Chains A and B, each alone.
Chain A
Amino acid sequence: MNTEPSSEIIGAPLGAPVYELANVSKTYARNRVVALQDVNLTLHKGSFSSVIGSSGCGKSTLLKIMAGLIPPTKGRVILQGQPVKGARRDIGMMFQQATLFPWKTAVENIVLPIEIRDGKAAAMKAFDKAHDLLDVVGLKGFENVYPNELSGGMAQRASICRMLITEPAILLLDEPFSALDELSRDMMNMELQRICREQDATAFLVTHSIQEAVILSDDIYVMKPRPGRVAEIIDVDLPRPRTLNMMTTPKFGAIVDRIRRLLDKGEDM
């Protein structure tokens, strides 16, 4: 209600709402599993939010509904002022697997969204932009390499480029780095933060790593299972830009602790 003054105090003015979800519920007809119950959330322009929770608590379901890939059983999803009814091109998505297509080179994979949208000729014209993006994620020189010659981390970098090539306003990320080792994951997270700031993108990250959620996010939605619901929203008021060093600060530790306790309570039920 009084978001205006409080945001001034924190010093991070809230952007316009990008996503608005109201009472979103999902029951899978096949097995009558209540995957989501009355989820409400608002994502503001340029913000980074995470959703955390044990596996099976409905995180991927939430993301798919937001992306318009599956319909909610109940509730409303508004993206950039428009109700979501089906898949939308202003969304960039990433999954745990890089999902690069093995018959295309790295650069051909990256321009695929343009090829689909505007045809082959436009895709060829986007090669320069793809090269720049590969450069940004540290894959210069790998333009013409096929995916099965890339390591897991390199493949994920390439799939970041593919997600960014159409400059989507919103990034939906489903455990994008959870298949990577911890060192690579930390590095990728810092890159992700930088990219989001550079492109002023709104990001929504599904993770089950508390550290990852805290180091990246402005807001963390803590979910609990059966039925899947948002139990708590945690504000992370660590200064930006975030650095890996912050992970050793007491404030960081306190937030991690708080979330861990919330999640533990979820396990008891």
Chain B
Amino acid sequence: MNDARIKQPKDMAEDTVWVQEISLIDSIPRWIAMSFVFAVFIGVWQLVTGLGLVSPIILPTPWETLEDMIFVGKNLIAGGYLLKALWITILEVIYGFALAITIGFSLGVLVGETAFGEKAVMPYLVAIDTMPKVAFAPLFVAWLGFGIESKVALAAFIATFPIVVGTAAGLHAADENARMLFKTMGASRLQTLIKMKLPTGLPQIFTGLKIGAVGVMAGAITGEFLGGGRGFGEQIRMAASQLNTPRVFSLILYLSLVGLALYALVTFAQRKVVFWHKEQVGSADG
């Protein structure tokens, strides 16, 4: 009698089938949604400039900006003076980031792994971190001159702290069981650090690297604004002083591509290295 019930369910009316409803706005595909927001943005921009609500010196039209972007793009492709300027900024960013990773990771391990670092170093790091770091820019210029070095230093200075914090937090992420397990396996402190604590903390370390990647760009450009040199930041400053607003806009947009590329590089490395972490699955398309 039980068998019969299992095999032959009563016919169910179609309308009892539950179809989950997704509201219209949530079902819009990503590219359409993004294009829509972009179109609205350009539309408002065009409207504001087209109606003459603001002076063209303050805000160029979208078309003027596009024209200038094409000009800058051609100059970049042709290897003109803008490419040379961009290359200098890229070098500052690369050197600054490499320096920040080296120093940040080392300090992070010192602070996260040793009681001495936690007690004696961390308080000072926190104190420095709360300062507005760009205020150090004139000092770096005074110490290192108007060349690339002062920009690299400021970029590295800004990017180091999130990497220290990420690394230290990552080293504390391992749970008690994992630590006990490694002890019963007879692991040395170095083995525990390399084979357990560091891999466990990679998600936090990468979070620090991502924040650092954003900071390193800001540091390099701020350094160029305040310390001259021949980088992209100097080009922006010059264009602004000549009231060439379309140029400022297009330079900023090209610069943001560099920042985006660096961020994407870190994210790519994260997906390769921290392939097991859930967050990566969730935000894989975001």
Which of A1-9, A87-95, A134-142 lies on the face that meets chain B? Answer: A87-95
Distance in Å: Cβ of B276 to nearest Cβ of chain A: 4
Shortest B113–chain A CB gap in Å is: 18
A102 on the B face (CB < 8 A): yes
Chain A, residues 96-108, CB within 8 Å of chain B (1/0): the string is: 0101011100000
| A93 near B180: Cβ-Cβ < 8 Å | yes
A148 part of interface (Cβ distance < 8 Å)? yes
- Work out how many contacts link A and B, with CB atoms closer than 8 A: 54
Asked if residues B276 and A103 are in contact (CB atoms below 8 Å), the reply is yes
- B275 surroundings in chain A (CB, below 8 A): 103
A67 to B180, Cβ gap below 8 A?
yes
Query: Please, how many angstroms separate the alpha-carbon atoms of A113 and B180 in the complex?
Result: 13
Q: Which residues of B contact A95 (CB under 8 A)?
A: 177, 180-181
Asked if residues A116 and B177 are in contact (CB atoms below 8 Å), the reply is no
The A-contacting residues of B in range 163-186, CB under 8 angstroms, are 175, 177-178, 180-186
Assess whether B184 is in contact with A103, with CB atoms less than 8 Å apart.
Answer: no
- Known contacts A67-B180, A69-B180, A95-B177; decide if A101 and B199 are in contact (CB<8 Å): yes
Q: Are A89 and B185 in contact (CB under 8 A)?
A: yes
Nearest CB in chain A to that of B180: its residue = A69
Closest A residue, CB atoms, query B202: A103
Contacts of B184 in A (CB 8 A): 67, 69, 87-89, 91-93
Q: Please report the C-alpha to C-alpha distance between residue A195 and residue B38 in the assembled complex, in whole angstroms.
A: 64
Name the A residues within 8 Å of B276 (CB-CB): 102-103, 146-148
For A64, the chain B residues whose CB sits under 8 A away are 180
Query: In the assembled complex, which residues on chain B have CB atoms less than 8 Å from the CB atom of A93?
Result: 180-181, 184
Which A residues have a C-beta under 8 Å from some C-beta of B? 64, 67, 69, 87-89, 91-93, 95, 97, 99, 101-103, 112-113, 115-117, 146-148
